[in-house]
Amino acid sequence: MSGLETAKRIVVKVGSALLIGDNDAGADRAWLAAFASDVARLRARGQQVLVVSSGAVGLGRRRLGLLRRALTLPEKQAAAAAGQSALMRAWEEAFEPHGAIAAQVLLTRDDTEVRRRWLNARATVDTLLALGVIPVVNENDTVVTEEIRYGDNDRLAARVAQMIGADVLVLLSDVDGLYTADPRNNPDARHLARLSRLTPEIEAMAGGANASAGVGTGGMATKLAAARIAQSAGCATVITLGRRPAPLAALEAGERSTIIEPSTTPAAAYKAWIAGSLAPAGALVVDAGAAAALKRGKSLLAAGVREVQGRFDKGDAVVVRDEAGHEVARGLIRYEAGDALRIRGLKSQAVEQALGYTSGPMIHADDLALSHGREEPPASAGFEPAPQGA
Ligand code: GLU
């Protein structure tokens, strides 16, 4: 069981080798059409699917006639610009017969590592998923420079899975999983079907001759790096063969794959990260009613906030205390300190009037970790490395 059948949110990473056929014709439309049906089947079951798609540079090279030689960085970035639009056209055409809309989301590393940008990207992707749209994510290759790149879409896919609290990350690959050695030249190579821990031995296997197994930017080493990120974010990683018409159906039918189990749940990982890994930038003192509501799993509304302390920005972590000074919770605040001060004590309807905008509650229940009776965060503290303060 890959967990695919029961997952609520699934991220599928599709590499360039799958998307681009062997000829110079561009995207492999037959594969894309079959894959889109495969995704449509999951959506019909009520599951949300996000695709991380490579192929911008490859398609752009074909479009611009830049196939025959190594490219300079600006040429590669130009190819990505020309290829990304072709890539999206191919995805849109593939999903259209299923009545599904594909939406382009281009991210840079900061979007998943700087907390404020991360929260913003998360809100957008959440909204797309709630609208029934299929986000198609790629790195914004046209503007990122070498130093600030993810560089490979395996890791990008894991970061996105972490960001949206996905349950399963499927890395479609040109190999059907992890082996103890490179199966192409070692008859003794043993397939690994399920791993609950990524031990140094396993890392060593993927880091040796196996490291570059596979086409595309990411070999086995980057797949494991992705799995490590996903694991501590509560997301299972499945590495399986992509080059078949319906790779997700094949997975459900029990075709070979390697499953790397999560070490926690997405919600627990996220809350452990809020509770344990972030230095609070300020504090809110709340009245007894609000403190009780928080303990029942409710959001913190401006109306219940008595005092605002410290200088913090939107998206920063703050401590929530009751009037006796006891810590009740920690959470990510949706207003910067000045605005929080202005709306303290106000009813929700008055917030927009006071500020000219509203971001909803001071702290949403999803972004709150209760301080009493909470489990101690695991040593890995969930998110690794934690998105840093803006
Ligand atoms: N973002 C790159 C592209 O679209 C691909 C990176 C990768 O495949 O890992 O061409």
**What are the tens digits of pLDDT across the range 333-359?**
999 999 999 999 999 999 999 999 999
Contact 162, 9 (CB under 8 A): no
Can you give the pTM of this predicted structure?
0.83
Amino acid occupying residue 20: I
Question: For residues 223 and 195, is the Cβ–Cβ distance under 8 A?
Answer: no
Q: Which residues pair with 13 in a beta bridge?
A: 52, 171
Neighbour tally for 325: CB within 10 Å? 8
Cα 204 to Cα 226: distance, rounded to the nearest angstrom: 15
Task: Give domain status of residue 188, yes or no.
Answer: yes
For residue 351, give the CATH number of its domain.
2.30.130.10
Please indicate, yes or no, whether residues 131 and 227 belong to a single structural domain of this protein: yes
- Choose which residue among 63, 107, 153 to substitute to test ligand 1 binding: the one with the highest number of ligand atoms within 8 A of its C-beta: 153
- Judge if 306 and 254 occupy the same domain: no
Q: How many domains does the chain have?
A: 2
Based on the domain organization, do 275 and 177 belong to the same domain? no
- Per the structure block, which two tokens stand in for 220? 């086995």
Closest ligand 1 atom to 153 CA = 9
pLDDT, mean over the chain: 88
Test site for ligand 1: of 14, 53, 57, 87, most ligand atoms within 8 A of the Cβ: 57
In this structure, the residue with its CA closest to atom 8 of ligand 1 is 54
Between 48-57, 59-68, 131-140, 272-281, the lowest mean confidence (pLDDT) is in 272-281
- How far is it, in rounded angstroms, from Cα 221 to Cα 239? 12
Helices 220-232 and 153-164: crossing angle in degrees, nearest 10, is: 10
Q: Give the pocket of ligand 1 (CB within 6 Å).
A: 15-16, 54-58, 138-139, 141, 152-153, 216-218
Lowest mean pLDDT among 117-121, 184-188, 246-250, 294-298: 184-188
Are residues 277 and 244 part of one domain? Answer: no
User: Do 57 and 83 touch, CB atoms closer than 8 A?
Assistant: yes
The label of the residue with tokens 């890791």 reads: 155
Phi, psi angle pair for 184, to nearest 5°: -75, -25
Residue range of the domain that includes 129: 9-264
**Residue 219 maps to a domain:** yes
Q: 205-218, pLDDT tens digit by residue?
A: 776 545 555 434 45
Q: Which two tokens stand for residue 178?
A: 């992890």
